[in-house]
Structure 1
């Protein structure tokens, strides 16, 4: 059994949690199911480790973060195999998450620091703005990108001088727990603690009075619950929640040139990413051609277990999400015309074919809501002002994109979107140097870039009066 990391020790816990293979629907292993005592021990260990970690120089903390990244790289083959097993995704996608995203974010934040800023200096005073560590951070990680998102929370929290308790997703705990085992001899005891378990463990972490901040990635519904639970202790909260990203195809776009990229950004990880394309708005003049192109790509794609070398796309990761996707397939049939996919294969596992729906309109559940699975609605529009308004009408505002041959014109349209991130002729282009904010009901706070360090720091002004000259 893969073990939890608590206070520098590897712990099996007192009870087990089943882990299901999404390719078969069967249990293939167990991990520890953290109880209240485990959460308490982890928070206490992080609290005890905090002063010494805070007092290290940013450079010293950065050396440890780089060592953590190196350990991930050294063990990438094992980690990627575990990730394929628990998510069902193809190996190439697992390698991208582990080696590009997780390692990239760990290395980016290594040694990064927020330097003091001089606000005022005159004959009477000198005022500086400082940013100081908060204490213990609680991080709750989702099932769709467990290694990347864990690293994207651990790295800035540690770089800022905080310690951390990570709670893995119940359905994809293996690879993140294995990170804890690999890091046990690198990170000072208590600085990083990694727990596996169900929702109860996460709730205890959120409510704990010794946790100064919660960072959560997941559904908007759960984000609301976290805000409510964090309120009694007034702890800081960063929420990166659901998205319903719109992509707008302008009338001057080259369908043949951009269709493969549109397809890739819509069905990445079988649509199980908060910031992939969820609504595709296409101008009347290009509508039929784009629908045909995307449908053709989807129909020829291979959906199979990640262990299959031919696999291009894997299954929906867990039964609960699979059932939601099946619901949205029914909604798609009622609201529009399915031109690719739609027929769920018989047999074991949570496999759903890549599905494309045309002749569908705003107001349909498949357009207005987030399926979080491999279903793409393609919506017709004729007026740019109207489509911008429709894209902005969603309560979600995580990401969006605009596609066209005239880049300057496309950029002007992009600037009118309300989402936290807007891309032109690309989508979901994640980069550790680039902030990734969330607006509206997609959450608040920011991850990525130097700005992603600031939510892990408290502001302090130091206002020094200068001596008054004698006489």
Structure 2
């Protein structure tokens, strides 16, 4: 298999060329690295029909067999980490080490999901009747994955959907379809035809999926703005939905931290994957007693980090992934400049090809500024001075988002008590971004609807069915 040419969709277990094609760019140099198939409406109908035809047999497949096939999927991914990570770096921009972590982490997530079980509840077991509640598959899942972690976030949907007995039509982002398409090719001989279909396309394909009458549930990861449109589109047929959306996560730093120890950790909490993570720390509330030394330590550390082409040795942060997001990041920087905010590092675009923005750190901008109130999803971080932890908690909670948050302290118990006051679906103490296939991941407020991962995430791909038998 050539991992850098001949990209085809997977429909009904076969490789299918698109009705047309579209270019995929390398964000590090803006060159076209491949043409991806552009799925037509008719081809989407074929994919949905294939998934629908495969559903009865897959639903009837014993769960232990489905579990074994998930482990086989993980094994196939592990066996191809090297070519997959190289392709992922080319299309997404992240450094090789980060791409390897994502691909390998995907295999681990698939394996972890395979250990989950669907519960069955006995409601009554009497002389008169037996009543049980069980969880049954929904049907055909329309899954839409994003460009920041295109592989692992696709399998956040694929793994539980398959284990629960559903079939899938997956659409990767048009910015990063290639690695996902190749994984589809790798898996064609493992799964029954039609169980996993992967189609790629432009802006029209997503709405076709969310409104398609043959799709029973939509699982979407992306922005809150797009999530609202997905929910509206799915409402026409009352599709089930899982929406993992945006965040404006706050980090709260207590005055008792070890400055030199936490400075690098706080830096990567904000700038891992170039800040293009829904659960990145996007606002950092630092107690006034430690603000100045911690600010200096974070800035000093930032100066040691190499930004560049992900294929180059030593690169730690790659480019912004696409031109649209690049423009948005530059617009936020321009707004801070216009309003006279103090830049500690960065603030200027890099000349030359590629969507590069230097690490940019702001010194205590106003709370009502765009860079504090909006999700930047890029390499910009506002450091914010607070007089008390109560003030930090109040400001952290004063947001339409509620995805994640973190508290940093040398006293973990004290930090936990503060973390429990955060109005978010995920709270980390002295770390961020730790996710597990065994633990529920969900957003509060406008950060999402439903759950991914863990038993709760698995149940998202089922309908509840209660059976009563009169004796």
Q: How does 1:10-25 map to 2 (within 5 A)?
A: 10-25=15-30
Q: Does 1:125 align with 2:129?
A: yes
Report if aligned partners of 2:320, 2:357 keep a CA contact under 8 Å in 1: yes
Which of 5, 11, 22 pairs up with 1:6? 11
How far apart in 2 are the matches of 1:407 and 1:464?
51
Which of 368, 373, 376 pairs up with 1:368? 373
Report if aligned partners of 1:135, 1:162 keep a CA contact under 8 Å in 2: yes
Which of 168, 173, 181 pairs up with 1:169? 173
Match of 1:207 in 2: 211
Tell me: CA distance 1:177–1:161, structure 2 relative to 1, closer, same or farther (3 Å).
same
How far apart in 1 are the matches of 2:336 and 2:132?
57
Structure 2: tracts of 5 or more residues without a match: 1-5
1:107-149 per-position Cα deviation (integer Å, ceiling 9, x unaligned): 1122533031112334433221110000000000101100001
Q: Does 1:106 align with 2:99?
A: no
Q: Does 1:420 align with 2:394?
A: no
Task: Give me the TM-score of the superposition, normalised by structure 2.
Answer: 0.97
Report if aligned partners of 2:54, 2:194 keep a CA contact under 8 Å in 1: yes
1:265-302 per-position Cα deviation (integer Å, ceiling 9, x unaligned): 11000000100100000000011111111111122211
How far apart in 1 are the matches of 2:389 and 2:346?
30
Q: Does 1:73 align with 2:88?
A: no
Match of 2:465 in 1: 460
1:230-261 per-position Cα deviation (integer Å, ceiling 9, x unaligned): 01100000000000000000122221111111
Which of 40, 43, 50 pairs up with 2:45? 40
Across the aligned residues of Structure 1 and Structure 2, the Cα RMSD in angstroms comes to 1.0
1:321-368 per-position Cα deviation (integer Å, ceiling 9, x unaligned): 000000111123325211111122100000011111012121110000
How far apart in 2 are the matches of 1:367 and 1:82?
34
Match of 2:149 in 1: 145
How far apart in 2 are the matches of 1:193 and 1:311?
35
Match of 2:232 in 1: 228
Which of 419, 441, 445 pairs up with 1:436? 441
Q: How does 1:80-95 map to 2 (within 5 A)?
A: 80-95=85-100
Match of 1:321 in 2: 325
Report if aligned partners of 1:287, 1:380 keep a CA contact under 8 Å in 2: yes
Tell me: CA distance 1:283–1:345, structure 2 relative to 1, closer, same or farther (3 Å).
same
Tell me: CA distance 1:7–1:76, structure 2 relative to 1, closer, same or farther (3 Å).
same
Report if aligned partners of 2:116, 2:438 keep a CA contact under 8 Å in 1: no
Q: Does 1:357 align with 2:366?
A: no
Match of 1:469 in 2: none
Q: How does 1:245-264 map to 2 (within 5 A)?
A: 245-264=249-268
Match of 1:59 in 2: 64
* Aligned residue pair count: 465
Post-superposition shift, 1:26?
Answer: 2.3
Match of 2:386 in 1: 381
Tell me: CA distance 1:386–1:111, structure 2 relative to 1, closer, same or farther (3 Å).
closer
Report if aligned partners of 1:63, 1:111 keep a CA contact under 8 Å in 2: no
Task: Give me the TM-score of the superposition, normalised by structure 1.
Answer: 0.97
Match of 1:289 in 2: 293
Post-superposition shift, 1:462?
Answer: 1.3
Report if aligned partners of 1:22, 1:350 keep a CA contact under 8 Å in 2: yes
